[in-house]
């Protein structure tokens, strides 16, 4: 797609994420979901209407991956992604990474944060209310609700390890 990061890029990233999921590569599928969330969308494009912002897809991949398929530590991955974001739409992309981080924390409560980075860089992990507020301010129309519709049921359920 070259430098084009618009709706076509968004749809292609999601299609590639699905192909990687079907190939048994959940960690790589999550990376392509990240790429989709980095697309330059203004709202109202055909692709996002056809394929909603992939917060539910990210959670689904994390929840349904086979135990023998590599997933890494999504909590740490999204922490690093959020705190090292550069490039266009940096602030929005940072808050989207924190939104996925919040999902990963609920799905994998046993996975540790990068405590050294938090301490050394003075990073405070954001509260979900702050994430929702920032997605409302910076994201596409309805984006905060899309994320909250995924986050809230996970936040009120028993941890996956207890189910």
pLDDT digits (tens, 9 = 90+) for 135-162: 999 999 889 999 999 999 988 875 544 4
Provide the residue ranges of all domains of the chain, joining segments of one domain with +: 7-162
pLDDT in the model for residue 161: 45
The region of weakest confidence among 87-91, 108-112, 122-126, 148-152 is: 87-91
pLDDT in the model for residue 22: 95
Global pTM?
0.91
For residue 124, give the nearest of 150, 146, 101 by alpha carbon.
Answer: 101
Residue 27, helix vs strand vs coil: helix
Residue 2 pLDDT greater than 80, yes or no: no
Residue 43, number of CB atoms within 10 A of its CB: 11
Q: What is the CA radius of gyration of the chain?
A: 15
Measured CA distances, 69 to 21, 22, 45, 78, 80 (Å): 10, 12, 34, 19, 22
pLDDT in the model for residue 6: 81
Residues 6+ apart with CB under 8 A from 142: none
Q: What is the overall mean pLDDT for the chain?
A: 89
Mean pLDDT of 57-74: 93
Mean pLDDT of 1-28: 89
**Helix or strand holding residue 89 (H, E):** none
pLDDT > 70: what percent of the chain? Answer: 91
């Amino acid at each position: 797609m070259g430098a084009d990061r618009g709706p076509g890029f968004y749809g292609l990233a999601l299609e590639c994420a699905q192909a990687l999921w079907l190939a048994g590569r959940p960690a790589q599928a999550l990376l392509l979901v990240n790429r989709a969330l980095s697309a330059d969308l203004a709202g109202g494009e055909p692709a996002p209407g056809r394929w909603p912002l992939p917060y539910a897809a990210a959670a689904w991949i994390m929840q349904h991956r086979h135990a023998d398929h590599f997933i890494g530590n999504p909590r740490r991955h999204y922490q690093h992604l959020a705190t090292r974001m550069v490039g266009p739409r940096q602030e929005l992309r940072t808050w989207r990474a924190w939104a996925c981080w919040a999902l990963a924390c609920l799905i994998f409560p046993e996975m540790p944060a990068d405590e050294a980075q938090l301490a050394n860089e003075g990073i405070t992990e954001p509260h979900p209310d702050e994430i929702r507020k920032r997605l409302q301010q910076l994201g596409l129309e309805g984006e905060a609700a899309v994320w909250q519709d995924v986050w809230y049921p996970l936040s009120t359920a028993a941890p996956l390890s207890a189910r």
